[in-house]
Structure 1
Amino acid sequence: MPDNRSNPHPVLSSPLHPLTLLAKELEARGLEASVDFSVSVVDAYSPGGPGVASAAHQRVILRPDAVTAHPWWWLLWPGERFEREAAEPEVTCLLPVERVEEVARRGRNILILDSTE
């Protein structure tokens, strides 16, 4: 692990894009990840991948804060399907872009909980 004390924002100064960094962090935690740069999205999958029907899935998006314009990670929760209606997807503000390791940890925990239900 690099020493980040001299650089308080290693994600912002990394030669890798933050989406790529998040995908690598998720993969380091035993998940599969895919990146869609066109919409700033990282999809994380429990082992088994996106082609396996039973695989749990979590989407993380990178969007600027409305006030500061600083990039933040957001969780995208898919709309739940009901018998007669579909709820719209929801987004939850998570952490600033610099906290990529914590975002990966939380994404993994969500997938672990989802796969045990």
Structure 2
Amino acid sequence: MNQEPYASAKRVFWIVDNGSSHRGRKAVDRLADRFPNAVMVHTPVHASWLNQIEIFFSIVQRKVVSPNDFTDLDQVRDRLRRFEDRHNATAQPFQWEFTTADLDDLLARLDRHTLADRQEEFPTALAA
């Protein structure tokens, strides 16, 4: 954050999960106090796009970082940059196929499942 282009950027978004070290208002304030142009963005707890990020990082782990045969950090940086260049040149947009109708269907099935579970657990309470 003290180096360019971050130091002079109007805003730098820090995307973080909901781990205990950066959860809540204190974490947001701590980052903003240290770097006024930093904006902490928490990922949703459950999100399909987060799964896509995890898939991407698993690809980086398999294709770039493993085997861990680097002699210095410059080699790690160079290999990551070469992978980034190749990936950016060949990447295709995700074709999302999950529609709002699919979501409605899923929620209805979950509701039916939850109701059936409650009826099995408390048959007399729900019958009244």
TM range (shorter): under 0.3
Q: TM-score, normalised by structure 1?
A: 0.23
* Greater relative CO, 1 or 2 (CA 8 Å, sep 6+): 1
The structure whose Rg is larger is: 2
Bigger helix share? 2
